[in-house]
Amino acid sequence: MRSRQLLQAITMLCLTLFCPNVKSQAAFNKELPKEFTDQFTQEINDSIPSLGSFIVSQNDKLIYEYYSHGANKETIFSIKSVTKSIVSVLAGIAQDKNILPNLNTPVLKILPEYNVSRSSFKNISNIEGKVAHDSIRNTLTLRNLLTMQGGFDWIENSKISTAMSFSGDPVKFVLDLPFEEYPGTVFNYNSGETHLFGAALAKIVKTNLKQFAAENLFKPLKINVPRWDTDSMNRNIAGSEMFMKPEDMLKFGLMILNNGKLGGRQIVSSKWIQESTAEHVKLDSWDVMPGANGYGYYWWRRKTNGHQAFVATGYGGQLICIIPDLKMVIVTTCFMNDKNRGRSEIKRLHYFIDKMTKEDIYKH
């Protein structure tokens, strides 16, 4: 017995010295102290009056689950731009099926019906500018859209994004925007670009995004998506307006944590998970994302207490935060009511995520 204990001690010492990730996981194997959870619950409830849920899974086990302000397990939330990260996975599934073209493919090769040159019209104003725009537009690739580097003159959550949502054809609206930068050069968060990517993806998979997701992602994960709104052309809005329960958001997060696998089934290739969460855009600061360190294919990246995290982020405080070396997934939702403070709720929630990932709270 003593020799076995000695062997276990030596093994743990070696793992601690040479495998820092194992050290991190071991530090989090204990349950949260009641004193901490009571204080945490009180503070987050007081700090975020729009809070609906805050759920933490570690090592495939729920270690904290809190529903607030009338929410419960059955409450369905608008997950806002978390939708974008789900669309990223749909692109990966399409790649696994060998139907997604090379990401350097110009989007107008996929949507040629929108490739109408304005130089064919006579006597139009600023014809030189429009011809130049058309030339730049033809260089816009799927990769540019996936990494928010489309180059369009765009301000998120502004009158221009509202105008797009009211447009008779939002895809045409985005493609007709002037360019502020050359595609592929500058990061500028743009939900219009995601909608354009979604339209291209739907054409690639030859069905609407909701149907493709239902067959290849939601059904295998046993996720219920009762609603995914469409634009005026009946296209699912790729950048937002999907509705889901927090527990289903958690299933999605666990699938990402497990490199595309859940319940013994590979939903999307581990290669795509690694590629899509990698740093494709250098981004070392973002106003509501402390510790930001890059952007992937519709995935935010940040450090929380030194641990790399990948975050699906939605307006008003909808988050799925995956922290691989802690084997942890954190899900948050907020009600989109008059108590919601918009984007600033995201920063507040990251403060509480950072509280949850501090190792010293597990040592009591």
Residue 352 has pLDDT above 60, yes or no: yes
- Return the percent helix, strand and coil in the chain, to nearest 5: 45, 15, 40
Backbone torsions φ then ψ of 350, nearest 5 degrees: -65, -30
C-alpha distance from residue 273 to each of 54, 58, 90, 250, 330 (Å): 24, 19, 11, 16, 18
For the segment 227-256, the average pLDDT, to the nearest whole number, is 98
pLDDT of 30 reads: 58
For the segment 211-233, the average pLDDT, to the nearest whole number, is 97
Instruction: Summarize pLDDT for 85-95 with one digit per residue, the tens.
Output: 999 999 999 99
Token digits for 64? 């904290």
Query: Cβ of 313: how many Cβ atoms within 10 Å?
Result: 26
DSSP-assigned beta bridge partners for residue 64: 56
Residues contacting 298, CB < 8 A, separation 6+: 84, 85, 87, 88, 146, 194, 276, 312
What is the spatial distance between Cα 247 and Cα 68, in angstroms, rounded to a whole number?
A: 15
pTM of the model: 0.90
For the segment 317-338, the average pLDDT, to the nearest whole number, is 97
pLDDT of 363 reads: 57
Share of the chain above pLDDT 90, in %: 83
What is the spatial distance between Cα 207 and Cα 219, in angstroms, rounded to a whole number?
A: 16
Q: Is 234 left (phi over 0), alpha (psi -120 to 50) or beta?
A: left
Q: How confident is the model at residue 126 (pLDDT cuts 50, 70, 90)?
A: confident
Instruction: Summarize pLDDT for 98-117 with one digit per residue, the tens.
Output: 999 999 999 999 999 999 87
What is the spatial distance between Cα 354 and Cα 250, in angstroms, rounded to a whole number?
A: 18
Instruction: Summarize pLDDT for 162-173 with one digit per residue, the tens.
Output: 999 999 999 999
What is the spatial distance between Cα 198 and Cα 81, in angstroms, rounded to a whole number?
A: 13
For the segment 217-236, the average pLDDT, to the nearest whole number, is 97
Token digits for 85? 């990260």
Query: Cβ of 184: how many Cβ atoms within 10 Å?
Result: 15
Q: How confident is the model at residue 22 (pLDDT cuts 50, 70, 90)?
A: very low
What is the spatial distance between Cα 337 and Cα 325, in angstroms, rounded to a whole number?
A: 35
Instruction: Summarize pLDDT for 137-169 with one digit per residue, the tens.
Output: 999 999 999 999 999 999 999 999 999 999 999
DSSP-assigned beta bridge partners for residue 10: none
Instruction: Summarize pLDDT for 259-279 with one digit per residue, the tens.
Output: 999 999 999 999 999 999 999
